[in-house]
Structure 1
């Protein structure tokens, strides 16, 4: 994994076999990013855990996907949760059939590579707080 940054943009490239979410959280801590927007991400992930929030039950319904999938798009934001940088991410992904699917990304292992760009927004001071059964952005 490598990362570089300037005043506004953080670039991260992860390599095959790395834990995507854990490495992202590590880089955010090291770079001191507490608020931001995920502006672009491409690559491949395998062993994904994707979720859909069931508003009637107020829980995520999760799905495990072991087959490598292209990361077609990723969007989300960075905020503080209990004092640590927290990436809230949604992805669109496609597997061997090229059928597109997506949802909330809980975890995934990098397959080949992932390239990610984040716009840092420290003045926003975004935070997550428990509210109405989920962790709302404040």
Structure 2
């Protein structure tokens, strides 16, 4: 198990811009504030979404796109450095009008409305390629 103790440095509440990309908004905020590691939770609604599912056998992401309005029932993730830039590793549970849920790794989504709580840490986190999973994981 790879672990480390972290010290909380700052906490933020943020409202995502209507029409912006959900994940990019979090990454741009982290970059602007000099955040190299954080944990976040969010909720709201999106106008569309691209979810990724990681195929463990083929070791590649499979993309599924939803071009419809969706509620963000739950969104959790973390910020770590990837190639020297903040990367928001974002997982989401989305809800259709019918109540059917969709879930996965959120690659992109157009914000309708979004609220984020983000807690940053003093210790930076960095991602690099893991040989076993072929994923970018914490060092």
In the alignment, the residues of structure 2 paired with residue 108 and residue 122 of structure 1 have an alpha-carbon distance, to the nearest angstrom, of 29
The one of 21, 29, 32 aligned to 1:30: 32
Aligned to 2:64: 63
Question: What is the CA-CA distance between 1:15 and the residue it aligns to?
Answer: 2.9
In the alignment, the residues of structure 2 paired with residue 79 and residue 26 of structure 1 have an alpha-carbon distance, to the nearest angstrom, of 13
In the alignment, the residues of structure 2 paired with residue 52 and residue 32 of structure 1 have an alpha-carbon distance, to the nearest angstrom, of 30
Does residue 110 of structure 1 match 2:115? no
In the alignment, the residues of structure 2 paired with residue 105 and residue 36 of structure 1 have an alpha-carbon distance, to the nearest angstrom, of 17
Does residue 121 of structure 1 match 2:114? no
Question: What is the CA-CA distance between 1:51 and the residue it aligns to?
Answer: 0.9
In the alignment, the residues of structure 1 paired with residue 111 and residue 82 of structure 2 have an alpha-carbon distance, to the nearest angstrom, of 24
Question: What is the CA-CA distance between 1:56 and the residue it aligns to?
Answer: 0.1
Matched-pair contact (CA < 8 Å) for 2:23–2:90: no
Aligned to 2:129: 130
Runs of 4+ off more than 6 Å = none
Residue 8 of structure 1 aligns to a residue whose secondary structure is: strand
In the alignment, the residues of structure 2 paired with residue 45 and residue 27 of structure 1 have an alpha-carbon distance, to the nearest angstrom, of 19
Give the aligned length: 129
Aligned to 1:41: 42
CA RMSD of aligned residues (A): 1.1
Question: What is the CA-CA distance between 1:26 and the residue it aligns to?
Answer: 1.1
Question: What is the CA-CA distance between 1:20 and the residue it aligns to?
Answer: 1.5
In the alignment, the residues of structure 2 paired with residue 122 and residue 81 of structure 1 have an alpha-carbon distance, to the nearest angstrom, of 17
Gaps of 5+ in 2: 1-8
Question: What is the CA-CA distance between 1:46 and the residue it aligns to?
Answer: 2.1
